Amino acid sequence: MTVAPPTTVLPSYGVDTPPRLLRLNVQTDVYGGDAASLGWQGDSVAIGSNLFDAGGDDDLADFLAMTYDEQYAALLGWVITHLGVYYAQFTGDILLDIEGIAHPKDWHTLIAALEALEPAGTFAAFIQRFIDASTILKSLCPNARIGYHSTIHPHSQGSDANANWLTRFDLAAQAADLGWLDNVDLVYCNVYPNFGPDDSSYLARMENSTAQAVTAANTLRNRVGRPEMPIVALTAPLIANGGSSNDGDTVSVGMLVRQVRLIGALDAHFGGVEAHMWSGQDDPPSLTVSLADIMAAMYRATLGRAYLRVTPTATAAAGAGTPDDPMALADLTTDWGAGRESGDRVELDGNFGSITLDTPAGVSYVGVAGGSSDLSAGAGGDAGVGGGPGGSGGEPITGGGTQVGASQ
């Protein structure tokens, strides 16, 4: 019996629908920067495909042939290497990213490939490999939250009638009936932006795809019907879509802000929806804006904290976005003027409110928390938020400036 996905729910969203959580998930190793200072949780990691492929080439037959003991040895070696000998105490998130044709994003091609491998290539045998991996990982890291990458993989434009999307959802629902989700804690939705400003209706495509994924994820249950499994809407800082005119481009912070606000609205509607960012490494060289700056700007625009570079060669805010993306932040792309010095006043004045601060010389980051009622302004840039010490020598700090009239 074919299982059809639900009708997509697309709620209104904006500055009043921030996400409940911003978490960074880095491939293979936990984020090496200070994610907490940027308003994010960074204790999250992804396990790549090579652990689940006995042949090392993403071949489906090798995946099916991999034994429980082989999976156990691979996962034990991985957690020791990347989480340390105290891996059992790890309390972050672990994302199982099983690539190749086994990846849920490709399940619309799966059945034909499995039929070619019968009798070994049954769907139940295929799902059992996932179940074994999650069972083993849960035994090794009982305090971690575990989930599969792209448990729900929507249509890139959010079309509810797309045949490949209908097949993927049907198989995800069938997999859940076979126990696919029994040993995991999170339902991951892949909501990577697929289009950019050189593509038509790119913002609407992002909205429809994100809403489709979260709506569908809300219907999945494990075999005990556990309704409280959090949904993770997993976005990314790069566009990786050969069908996009912006393939390979850094996603604008403005679009990411819109997306996580939409995720916040979906959370308000369904409950239990989190916003996570996936990255292949701490600071991918293909990004035109550093991952840390993207994280900081998203946090400022969604949860009320600002971080901006105030070194002479850095960039600062210009303000109000663009006509086709009114939530865009220009502070990561607009030069705030050659010849400025680190102690110059920097003003942010745009659709996210107006912040004025005096920056102490030599400080590379200044953070501003919330509105003016949320902090005790430092004196002359020498004190941090709440009157704590300021920073120097380029160290990340919170506060360190006089704030005048910030609003959200």
Q: Identify the pLDDT of residue 285.
A: 83
Q: How many CA atoms lie within 13 A of 359 on its CB side?
A: 29
Phi, psi torsion values for 44, nearest 5 degrees: -140, 145
Higher pLDDT, 310 or 407: 310
With a CB cutoff of 8 Å and minimum separation 6, the contacts of 164 are 108, 155
Per-residue pLDDT at 363 exceeds 50: no
Mean pLDDT to the nearest integer, 167-193 = 95
Looking at domain 22-298, its CATH architecture is: Alpha-Beta Barrel (3.20)
pLDDT band at 257 (very low <50, low <70, confident <90, very high): confident
Nearest one of 392, 396, 358 to 377, comparing CA atoms: 358
Of 43-52, 181-190, 246-255, least confident by mean pLDDT is 43-52
pLDDT band at 57 (very low <50, low <70, confident <90, very high): low
Domain boundaries, the chain: 22-298, 304-387
Q: Identify the pLDDT of residue 385.
A: 22
Place of tokens 């006043």: 345
Measure CA 247 to chain center: 18
pLDDT band at 22 (very low <50, low <70, confident <90, very high): confident
pLDDT band at 227 (very low <50, low <70, confident <90, very high): low
With a CB cutoff of 8 Å and minimum separation 6, the contacts of 240 are 192, 247, 248
Beta pairing, strands 365-369 & 305-309: antiparallel
Helix, strand, coil percent values for the chain (each to nearest 5): 35, 15, 50
Structure tokens at 173: 């629902």
Per-residue pLDDT at 220 exceeds 70: yes
DSSP H helix total and E strand total for the chain:
8, 11
